[in-house]
Amino acid sequence: GQQVMQIPQYQHVQEGEDFTTYCNSSTTLSNIQWYKQRPGGHPVFLIQLVKSGEVKKQKRLTFQFGEAKKNSSLHITATQTTDVGTYFCAGSNDYKLSFGAGTTVTVRA
Amino acid sequence: SQTIHQWPATLVQPVGSPLSLECTVEGTSNPNLYWYRQAAGRGLQLLFYSVGIGQISSEVPQNLSASRPQDRQFILSSKKLLLSDSGFYLCAWSVTGGKRTQYFGPGTRLLVL
Protein backbone atom coordinates (compact mmCIF):
# COMPACT_ATOMS: atom_id res chain seq x y z
CA GLY A 1 0.00 0.00 0.00
CA GLN A 2 0.85 3.63 -0.21
CA GLN A 3 3.40 4.81 2.35
CA VAL A 4 4.30 8.36 3.21
CA MET A 5 7.56 9.00 5.00
CA GLN A 6 8.41 12.24 6.71
CA ILE A 7 11.77 13.53 7.97
CA PRO A 8 13.05 14.64 10.36
CA GLN A 9 10.89 13.27 13.17
CA TYR A 10 12.01 16.05 15.49
CA GLN A 11 13.25 19.54 14.70
CA HIS A 12 14.70 21.80 17.40
CA VAL A 13 15.01 25.31 16.04
CA GLN A 14 16.45 28.52 17.39
CA GLU A 15 13.91 31.31 17.20
CA GLY A 16 14.52 33.31 14.04
CA GLU A 17 16.14 30.48 12.10
CA ASP A 18 14.74 28.64 9.08
CA PHE A 19 14.04 24.92 8.72
CA THR A 20 12.57 22.44 6.26
CA THR A 21 10.63 19.23 6.71
CA TYR A 22 10.41 16.69 3.92
CA CYS A 23 7.78 14.22 2.82
CA ASN A 24 8.24 11.28 0.42
CA SER A 25 5.71 8.86 -0.99
CA SER A 26 6.28 5.37 -2.35
CA THR A 27 3.70 6.06 -5.07
CA THR A 28 2.64 8.99 -7.22
CA LEU A 29 0.06 11.13 -5.46
CA SER A 30 -2.98 12.93 -6.83
CA ASN A 31 -2.43 15.62 -4.25
CA ILE A 32 -0.62 16.25 -1.00
CA GLN A 33 -1.93 18.02 2.05
CA TRP A 34 -0.23 19.52 5.08
CA TYR A 35 -1.65 19.70 8.57
CA LYS A 36 -0.48 21.26 11.82
CA GLN A 37 -1.23 19.88 15.27
CA ARG A 38 -0.51 22.14 18.21
CA PRO A 39 0.47 20.43 21.49
CA GLY A 40 -2.68 18.96 23.05
CA GLY A 41 -4.78 19.83 20.00
CA HIS A 42 -6.08 18.17 16.87
CA PRO A 43 -4.67 18.36 13.33
CA VAL A 44 -5.72 21.42 11.38
CA PHE A 45 -5.57 21.63 7.61
CA LEU A 46 -2.97 24.06 6.27
CA ILE A 47 -2.82 23.65 2.51
CA GLN A 48 -3.22 21.32 -0.44
CA LEU A 49 -0.91 20.98 -3.46
CA VAL A 50 -2.21 19.39 -6.63
CA LYS A 51 -0.03 20.30 -9.58
CA SER A 52 3.43 18.95 -10.37
CA GLY A 53 6.07 21.42 -9.18
CA GLU A 54 3.48 23.58 -7.43
CA VAL A 55 4.69 26.09 -4.84
CA LYS A 56 2.39 27.87 -2.40
CA LYS A 57 3.16 30.32 0.36
CA GLN A 58 1.38 31.18 3.56
CA LYS A 59 3.23 34.07 5.19
CA ARG A 60 6.49 32.48 6.43
CA LEU A 61 5.53 28.97 5.27
CA THR A 62 6.46 27.74 1.78
CA PHE A 63 5.05 24.47 0.51
CA GLN A 64 6.34 22.65 -2.55
CA PHE A 65 5.14 19.61 -4.51
CA GLY A 66 7.79 17.70 -6.44
CA GLU A 67 7.83 17.38 -10.20
CA ALA A 68 7.13 13.65 -10.02
CA LYS A 69 4.35 14.23 -7.44
CA LYS A 70 6.02 11.83 -5.04
CA ASN A 71 7.59 14.28 -2.61
CA SER A 72 6.87 17.55 -0.88
CA SER A 73 8.51 19.97 1.48
CA LEU A 74 7.53 22.62 4.00
CA HIS A 75 9.99 25.43 4.64
CA ILE A 76 9.49 27.85 7.50
CA THR A 77 11.50 31.05 7.62
CA ALA A 78 12.26 33.11 10.73
CA THR A 79 10.77 30.54 13.10
CA GLN A 80 8.58 31.89 15.88
CA THR A 81 7.33 30.30 19.09
CA THR A 82 3.88 30.12 17.49
CA ASP A 83 5.31 27.59 15.01
CA VAL A 84 5.62 24.96 17.75
CA GLY A 85 3.70 21.77 17.01
CA THR A 86 3.72 18.72 14.77
CA TYR A 87 3.47 19.12 11.02
CA PHE A 88 1.98 16.23 9.08
CA CYS A 89 1.98 15.68 5.35
CA ALA A 90 -0.69 13.43 3.89
CA GLY A 91 -0.89 11.93 0.44
CA SER A 92 -4.17 11.27 -1.29
CA ASN A 93 -5.06 8.79 -3.98
CA ASP A 94 -8.62 7.74 -3.17
CA TYR A 95 -10.99 8.19 -0.26
CA LYS A 96 -8.16 8.03 2.18
CA LEU A 97 -5.23 10.12 3.23
CA SER A 98 -1.97 8.42 4.15
CA PHE A 99 -0.32 10.50 6.84
CA GLY A 100 3.36 10.76 7.45
CA ALA A 101 4.61 10.27 11.01
CA GLY A 102 4.98 14.03 11.41
CA THR A 103 7.78 16.43 12.27
CA THR A 104 7.56 17.75 15.81
CA VAL A 105 8.97 21.25 16.07
CA THR A 106 10.24 22.87 19.23
CA VAL A 107 11.59 26.41 19.36
CA ARG A 108 14.35 27.80 21.58
CA ALA A 109 13.69 31.39 22.44
CA SER B 1 -20.70 26.27 8.47
CA GLN B 2 -19.66 22.72 9.25
CA THR B 3 -18.75 21.54 12.72
CA ILE B 4 -17.64 18.21 14.07
CA HIS B 5 -18.21 17.04 17.61
CA GLN B 6 -16.68 14.23 19.59
CA TRP B 7 -17.46 12.97 23.04
CA PRO B 8 -16.39 12.30 25.59
CA ALA B 9 -13.31 14.51 25.62
CA THR B 10 -11.45 12.23 28.01
CA LEU B 11 -12.12 8.73 29.27
CA VAL B 12 -10.44 6.40 31.74
CA GLN B 13 -11.55 2.80 31.42
CA PRO B 14 -10.43 -0.49 32.99
CA VAL B 15 -9.05 -3.29 30.85
CA GLY B 16 -11.82 -5.54 29.61
CA SER B 17 -14.54 -2.90 29.74
CA PRO B 18 -16.58 -1.85 26.68
CA LEU B 19 -16.08 1.36 24.75
CA SER B 20 -18.30 3.67 22.76
CA LEU B 21 -17.02 6.91 21.28
CA GLU B 22 -19.33 9.11 19.28
CA CYS B 23 -18.70 11.59 16.49
CA THR B 24 -21.27 13.80 14.80
CA VAL B 25 -20.97 16.27 11.96
CA GLU B 26 -23.21 19.26 11.35
CA GLY B 27 -23.67 21.45 8.34
CA THR B 28 -22.93 18.95 5.58
CA SER B 29 -24.57 15.93 3.97
CA ASN B 30 -23.19 12.55 2.99
CA PRO B 31 -19.67 13.22 4.28
CA ASN B 32 -16.88 10.69 4.26
CA LEU B 33 -16.10 9.88 7.89
CA TYR B 34 -12.89 8.61 9.45
CA TRP B 35 -11.60 7.29 12.76
CA TYR B 36 -7.91 7.68 13.58
CA ARG B 37 -5.83 6.73 16.59
CA GLN B 38 -2.77 8.65 17.67
CA ALA B 39 -0.47 7.10 20.27
CA ALA B 40 1.41 9.56 22.47
CA GLY B 41 3.95 11.48 20.39
CA ARG B 42 3.18 9.45 17.29
CA GLY B 43 1.50 9.86 13.92
CA LEU B 44 -2.05 9.20 12.82
CA GLN B 45 -3.21 5.63 12.25
CA LEU B 46 -6.37 5.28 10.16
CA LEU B 47 -8.69 2.77 11.83
CA PHE B 48 -11.94 2.98 9.85
CA TYR B 49 -13.53 5.05 7.14
CA SER B 50 -17.06 5.27 5.81
CA VAL B 51 -18.41 6.65 2.55
CA GLY B 52 -22.08 6.21 3.49
CA ILE B 53 -24.60 4.92 6.01
CA GLY B 54 -23.82 1.34 7.00
CA GLN B 55 -20.64 1.29 4.87
CA ILE B 56 -17.52 0.71 6.95
CA SER B 57 -14.02 -0.10 5.78
CA SER B 58 -11.48 -1.35 8.29
CA GLU B 59 -7.85 -0.51 7.83
CA VAL B 60 -6.25 -2.56 10.59
CA PRO B 61 -7.35 -5.77 12.34
CA GLN B 62 -8.04 -5.14 16.00
CA ASN B 63 -10.62 -5.43 18.72
CA LEU B 64 -12.33 -2.20 17.66
CA SER B 65 -15.35 -1.79 15.42
CA ALA B 66 -17.14 1.14 13.84
CA SER B 67 -20.70 1.85 12.84
CA ARG B 68 -22.50 4.58 10.96
CA PRO B 69 -26.17 4.41 11.93
CA GLN B 70 -26.98 7.83 10.51
CA ASP B 71 -25.52 9.97 7.74
CA ARG B 72 -23.62 12.27 10.08
CA GLN B 73 -22.96 9.95 13.00
CA PHE B 74 -19.93 7.71 13.37
CA ILE B 75 -19.37 5.46 16.37
CA LEU B 76 -16.25 3.64 17.49
CA SER B 77 -16.77 0.66 19.77
CA SER B 78 -15.05 -2.15 21.57
CA LYS B 79 -16.44 -5.05 23.54
CA LYS B 80 -13.30 -5.48 25.66
CA LEU B 81 -10.60 -2.84 25.90
CA LEU B 82 -6.91 -3.69 25.96
CA LEU B 83 -4.11 -1.65 27.49
CA SER B 84 -2.81 -1.03 23.97
CA ASP B 85 -6.08 0.72 23.07
CA SER B 86 -4.97 3.79 25.02
CA GLY B 87 -4.46 6.81 22.82
CA PHE B 88 -5.95 9.89 21.28
CA TYR B 89 -8.92 9.05 19.04
CA LEU B 90 -9.72 11.50 16.31
CA CYS B 91 -12.77 11.61 14.09
CA ALA B 92 -12.58 13.46 10.79
CA TRP B 93 -14.87 14.22 7.87
CA SER B 94 -14.37 15.21 4.26
CA VAL B 95 -16.66 15.99 1.36
CA THR B 96 -17.26 13.22 -1.14
CA GLY B 97 -14.95 13.67 -4.10
CA GLY B 98 -13.18 16.98 -4.58
CA LYS B 99 -10.16 17.92 -2.56
CA ARG B 100 -10.90 15.47 0.26
CA THR B 101 -9.42 17.81 2.79
CA GLN B 102 -10.09 16.27 6.17
CA TYR B 103 -11.46 18.26 9.09
CA PHE B 104 -10.75 16.82 12.49
CA GLY B 105 -12.82 16.83 15.63
CA PRO B 106 -11.34 17.78 19.02
CA GLY B 107 -10.57 14.14 19.83
CA THR B 108 -11.08 11.79 22.76
CA ARG B 109 -8.19 10.93 25.05
CA LEU B 110 -8.62 7.33 26.20
CA LEU B 111 -6.58 5.80 29.00
CA VAL B 112 -7.02 2.10 29.63
CA LEU B 113 -5.79 0.95 33.03
Q: Report which of residues B96 and B113 the model is more confident about.
A: B113
pLDDT value of residue B1: 87
CA atoms within 13 A on the CB side of B17: 12
What pLDDT was estimated at residue B41?
73
pLDDT at position B57 over 80? yes
Angle among Cα A40, B80, B24 to the nearest 5 degrees reads: 50
- The partner residue sitting opposite B44, judged by closest CB among A31, A33, A88, is A88
Contact list in A for residue B103 (CB cut-off 8 A) is 45
Asked whether the beta carbons of residue A101 and residue B43 sit closer than 8 angstroms, the reply is: yes
The predicted pLDDT at position A6 comes to: 95
Of B42, B49, B105, the CB nearest to A42: B105
Listed range (A37-46, B9-18, B97-106) with the worst mean pLDDT: B97-106
Name residues 62-101 of chain B within 8 A of A (Cβ): 90, 99-101
Query: Coil, strand, or helix at residue B84?
Result: helix
User: Looking at chain A from residue 1 to 40, which residues have their Cβ under 8 Å from any Cβ of chain B?
Assistant: 31, 33
Residues from chain B that touch A9, judged by Cβ atoms under 8 A, are none
pLDDT tens for B7-25 read: 999 999 999 999 999 999 9
The verdict on A99 touching B (C-beta cutoff 8 Å) is yes
B56-73 average pLDDT score: 91
Interface test with B, best of A31, A50, A87, A96 (most B CBs within 10 A): A96
- The Cα–Cα gap between B85 and B16 comes to 11
Residues 72-91, chain A, touching B (beta carbon < 8 A): 88, 90
- What number of CA atoms fall less than 13 Å from residue A37's CA on the CB side? 28
Model pLDDT, residue B28: 92
Position B98 pLDDT exceeds 70: no
Query: Is the per-residue pLDDT at A93 higher than 90?
Result: no
| Average pLDDT of the segment spanning B43-52 | 91
Averaged pLDDT score across all residues of chain B: 92
| Mean pLDDT along residues B24-46 | 91
Does residue A103 register a pLDDT over 70? Answer: yes
CB pairs under 8 A between A and B: 46
B62 within 8 A of B47, measured Cβ to Cβ? yes
- Predicted confidence band of residue A95 (pLDDT cuts 50, 70, 90): low
Indicate left, alpha or beta for B107 from its phi (over 0: left) and psi (-120 to 50: alpha): left
The whole-angstrom distance between A2's CA and the closest CA on chain B is 13
**Which one has a higher pLDDT value, B53 or B43?**
B53
DSSP letter, residue B85: G
Q: Indicate whether B89 pLDDT > 60.
A: yes
